[in-house]
């Protein structure tokens, strides 16, 4: 476990000439509480939690300081590093080990580093500007995808979309409908896609088996580790499926 540093008014002995880690040019003054950090990150990363931050600290990806009374405090630079880590996980599905290596290379100047946007340098965010997440229904998804409601209903009845008791579809529904619409142009009907959905559900079950021991530990850090592990395993299984499909299609030629 990585211990948080103790607060000090100046650089630690021997660190006066150490190169400034990324991000450069952003305040490293530890003035932010964990609630401030969560408020700054939540507009882009709504699922980030206290336990997630603690887990990333344990993995050595961030190093908040400790006040004399033992509380963790973060700087705007810490928030920027967190934003980079969370974005790499979400957008590139990179494992934490790889993200940590990238950060080390950026710190050493061995890898080009992104330039933080000015709006990220502060410790707060305008939550009032955050758009509300849409609640998808058969009707709204059909309208968004430009298809008949009957087609969306056929995806629900085929088990390709899950509809809650209140008529809500999950956030991925528009992507599923648009992709299924393209496939329908080639004569591939919803009933033909049932095995794909079954295979995906089995992959999810496999991931659940691996992460279940972490979830049972009932600690915030373990739950955060389970979430991170599930994301990484899900991406690896998706990549493997893609490789097999592409290889099989190549063999058809």
Q: What is the pLDDT of residues 120-172, one digit of tens each?
A: 444 444 444 444 556 899 999 999 889 999 999 999 999 999 999 999 998 88
Q: Are residues 136 and 119 in the same domain?
A: no
- The pLDDT score that the predictor gives to residue 120 is 43
Under DSSP, the state recorded for 189 is -
Q: Are residues 112 and 155 in the same domain?
A: no
Q: Which of 155, 172, 188 is the last residue of a domain?
A: 188
pLDDT at 176 over 80: yes
Q: Domain of 174: which CATH number?
A: 1.10.1660
Q: Are residues 119 and 180 in the same domain?
A: no
Can you tell me the distance from the alpha carbon of 35 to that of 38, in angstroms, rounded to the nearest whole number?
5
Tokens representing 227? 């979430």
Q: Which residues pair with 163 in a beta bridge?
A: 169
* Mean pLDDT, rounded, of the chain: 83
Q: Domain of 94: which CATH number?
A: 1.10.1660.10
1 lies in a domain? no
Q: Are residues 159 and 171 in the same domain?
A: yes
Q: Are residues 43 and 93 in the same domain?
A: yes
- The pLDDT score that the predictor gives to residue 4 is 53
Q: Are residues 234 and 161 in the same domain?
A: no
- The pLDDT score that the predictor gives to residue 121 is 41
10 lies in a domain? no
Tokens representing 192? 């033909």
Residue with tokens 């882009």: 44
Q: Are residues 124 and 136 in the same domain?
A: no
- Angle at which helix 194-215 crosses helix 220-252, to 10 degrees, equals 150
- The pLDDT score that the predictor gives to residue 207 is 92
Global pTM value:
0.56
12 lies in a domain? no
Can you tell me the distance from the alpha carbon of 34 to that of 204, in angstroms, rounded to the nearest whole number?
32
Q: Are 107 and 19 in contact (CB under 8 A)?
A: yes
Residues 6+ apart with CB under 8 A from 167: 137, 138
Q: Are residues 38 and 137 in the same domain?
A: no
5 lies in a domain? no
CB-count exposure of residue 115 (10 Å: 0-12, 13-18, 19+):
exposed
CB-count exposure of residue 151 (10 Å: 0-12, 13-18, 19+):
middle
pLDDT at 2 over 80: no
Can you tell me the distance from the alpha carbon of 252 to that of 175, in angstroms, rounded to the nearest whole number?
27
216 lies in a domain? yes
Of 9-23, 36-50, 65-79, the one with minimum mean pLDDT is 9-23
With bands split at pLDDT 50, 70 and 90, how would you rate the model's confidence at 118?
low
How large a percentage of the chain has pLDDT more than 70? 85
With bands split at pLDDT 50, 70 and 90, how would you rate the model's confidence at 54?
confident
Segment 36-56 mean pLDDT: 87
Segment 14-40 mean pLDDT: 82
Q: Are residues 173 and 204 in the same domain?
A: no
Residue with tokens 């709006």: 119
Phi, then psi, of 73 in degrees rounded to 5 = -135, 145
The parent domain of residue 84 ranges over: 22-129
Q: What is the pLDDT of residues 184-227, one digit of tens each?
A: 999 999 999 999 999 999 999 999 999 999 888 878 778 888 88
CB-count exposure of residue 42 (10 Å: 0-12, 13-18, 19+):
middle
162 lies in a domain? yes
Q: Are residues 62 and 98 in the same domain?
A: yes
Q: Which of 170, 188, 206 is the last residue of a domain?
A: 188
Q: Are residues 216 and 162 in the same domain?
A: no
Parallel, antiparallel, or unpaired: how do β-strands 65-66 and 5-6 relate?
Answer: parallel
7 lies in a domain? no
Structural domains of the chain, count: 3
Q: Are residues 38 and 105 in the same domain?
A: yes
Segment 90-102 mean pLDDT: 85
């Amino acid at each position: 476990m990585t211990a948080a540093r103790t607060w000090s008014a100046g650089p630690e002995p021997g660190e006066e000439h150490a190169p400034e880690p990324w991000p450069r040019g952003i305040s490293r003054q530890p003035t932010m509480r964990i609630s401030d950090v969560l408020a700054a990150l939540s507009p882009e990363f709504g699922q980030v939690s206290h336990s997630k931050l603690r887990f990333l600290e344990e993995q050595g990806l961030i190093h908040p300081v400790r006040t004399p009374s033992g509380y963790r405090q973060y700087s705007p630079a810490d928030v920027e590093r967190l934003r980079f880590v969370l974005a790499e996980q979400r957008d590139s599905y990179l494992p934490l080990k790889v993200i940590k290596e990238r950060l080390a290379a950026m710190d050493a100047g061995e890898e080009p580093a992104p330039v933080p946007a000015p709006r990220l340098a502060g410790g707060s965010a305008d939550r009032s500007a955050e758009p509300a997440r849409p609640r998808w229904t058969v009707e709204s998804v059909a309208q968004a995808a430009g298809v008949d409601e009957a087609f969306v209903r056929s995806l629900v009845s085929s088990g390709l979309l899950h509809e809650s008791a209140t008529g809500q579809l999950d956030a991925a529904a528009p992507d599923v409908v648009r992709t299924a619409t393209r496939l329908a142009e080639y004569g591939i009907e919803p009933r033909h896609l049932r095995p794909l959905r079954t295979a995906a559900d089995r992959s999810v079950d496999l991931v659940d088996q691996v992460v279940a021991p972490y979830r049972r530990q009932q600690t915030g850090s373990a739950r955060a580790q389970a979430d991170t592990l599930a994301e990484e395993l899900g991406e690896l299984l998706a990549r493997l499926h893609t490789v097999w499909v592409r290889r099989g299609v190549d063999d058809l030629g």
